[in-house]
Structure 1
Amino acid sequence: MSGVVVRYGTAKAPVTAVDDVSLTVRPGEFVVLVGPSGCGKTTLLRLIAGFERPAAGSVEVRRKVGVVFQQPRLFPWRTVGGNLAFALARHGVARAERAARAEELLSLVGLSGTAGRRTWELSGGQQQRVAIARALAAEPQILLMDEPFAALDALTRERLQEEVRTLAGVTGATVVFVTHSAEEAVLLGSRVVVMAAGPGRVIDEVPVPLPRGATTDVAALRGDARFAALRAELAAVTRDAAAA
């Protein structure tokens, strides 16, 4: 995206939500957007997904996109497999192939054998894994994740952080991830984009030169001195963004 401006409200009383934001995401990157509430992180995801159009500037997306929201938004009257079958049908997968493909997706997110269960029987973390599997049904090259772990307990959140790192390494997908957490940003991202509010704008970009990939030991990474230093640096920059 280049020079993007997003405005809400009326013509007589417009509110600028995002002002002159330019951002390039390269294939295979894991880019994390971090910043205070109201700085436009989710708005940028919506622009990339095509849910919104900018008032000025341009957004160019050359690859297929999948979206994971903060809440799983599953159909409670359908089974786990039924939720995935619905998504697969929308993406043109033949009826005869949907059950097998749904099981492949569930295996990818660590939920093999749960296709027949109702969504309300699952824990919050399991439901979010189903939501990730549903997003992968489209075989996206870009995965947009809007604070997907914000509502989860700390232990579940840590487990899913590790799984998302692994998933990104296995699939090779480009990921754009929104969070408020400096630690989560450093743990997951290969590059962190810091935003400030009033109106939303990019104020810094922080590369994360830490090991990545499906085989990375996340526990060891958390104990790495470089991780602690980057987390402290990013936390300071984020505090400045909130105060700006």
Structure 2
Amino acid sequence: MPRTDPASGGTPAGTAAEEQLAVDLAGVSVRYGPAKQPVTVLDAVDLRVRAGEFVVLVGPSGCGKTTLLRVIAGFVRPASGTALVRGAAPRPGRGAGVVFQQPRLFPWRTVGGNLGFALARHGVPRSQRPGRIAELLERVGLPGMGGRRTWELSGGQQQRVALARALAAEPELLLMDEPFAALDALTRERLQEEVRSLAGRLGTTVLFVTHSVEEAVLLGSRVLVMAAGPGRVVTDLAVPLPRDPDTDVAGLRSSAEFARLRGLLAGALLPA
């Protein structure tokens, strides 16, 4: 699917700095079910994501958004095509942090215990873990809460802990599957702004799944619209909004350019 790369000023994608590709999918198809009657979930998807991009996936339920993330995370192998993350085949737990729709924290561990478990799995020495836990909690806006039980936290706080856990391995790639869908509107807006700012400060490459047009425009430097039957990318929309971590997000939401882009994306999501 031809497109221009907004990160390179309109240069055709793939013609410069190939080593900067964080994700490179070529002709990726995924099929489920019995071999005699397989269901094609993704059909020949091509996708290139440059390091530092924030790419949002939108589309109707069942179009393969989550499956696409699972391929990139290494949880699902394509039936055909190739998937590369920073030039290598994706492997679970290596190189990508994953945040799910539900926090999936260990309820028998404290907040610090959940983060300590993640740090231990990634080989961080025990002596360094307290400092890293404090740093992670500060990063997601939960300073000093390492001793709290997870069931004592609000839904938004639990999701922040899940984000901190994903950041524990200092991933260059962050995969987020509708992480704010179950939150109330005010908490969702607050976390949108925090994730947007955090990604900008850290330079993390993010792939983010949502059903919200407004969330997609606010967060993404690019938005991919997917269609179902079978899943495929039908629109690749560049979002030329300010990405500086100190951007006035409230002003951005009320700007004419934000409204224009939101209208373009809403139109792209209408059935053909």
Q: Normalization by structure 2: what TM-score? A: 0.87
Pick from 225, 228, 233: which aligns with 2:264?
Answer: 233
Aligned partner (choices 96, 110, 114) of residue 83 of structure 1: 114
User: Corresponding residue for 1:10?
Assistant: 34
2:82, 2:164 → 1: CA distance? Answer: 30
Q: Is the 8 A contact 1:4 1:57 kept in 2?
A: yes
Corresponding residue number in structure 1 for 2:75: 51
Alignment of 1:1-244 (within 5 A): 1-62=25-86, 64-240=95-271
RMSD: 0.8
TM-score relative to the length of structure 1: 0.97
Larger helix percent: 1
Q: Is the 8 A contact 1:145 1:177 kept in 2?
A: yes
Q: Which has the higher contact order (CA 8 A, sep 6+)?
A: 1
User: How far apart in 1 are the matches of 2:121 and 2:242?
Assistant: 37
What SS does the corresponding residue of 2:144 show, helix, strand or coil?
coil
Residues 154-198 of structure 1, C-alpha deviation per residue, up to 9 Å, x if partnerless? 000000000001100111100000001111000000000000001
Task: Structure 1 unaligned segments of length 5 or more: list them.
Answer: none
Identity between Structure 1 and Structure 2 (%): 74
CA shift for structure 1 position 106: 0.3
Paired with 1:239 and 1:187, the residues of 2 have a C-alpha distance of 20
State the Cα distance separating 1:96 from its structure 2 match.
1.0
Letter in 2 for 1:75: F
**C-alpha separation in 1, matches of 2:34 and 2:148:** 46
Q: Which amino acid aligns with 1:215?
A: D
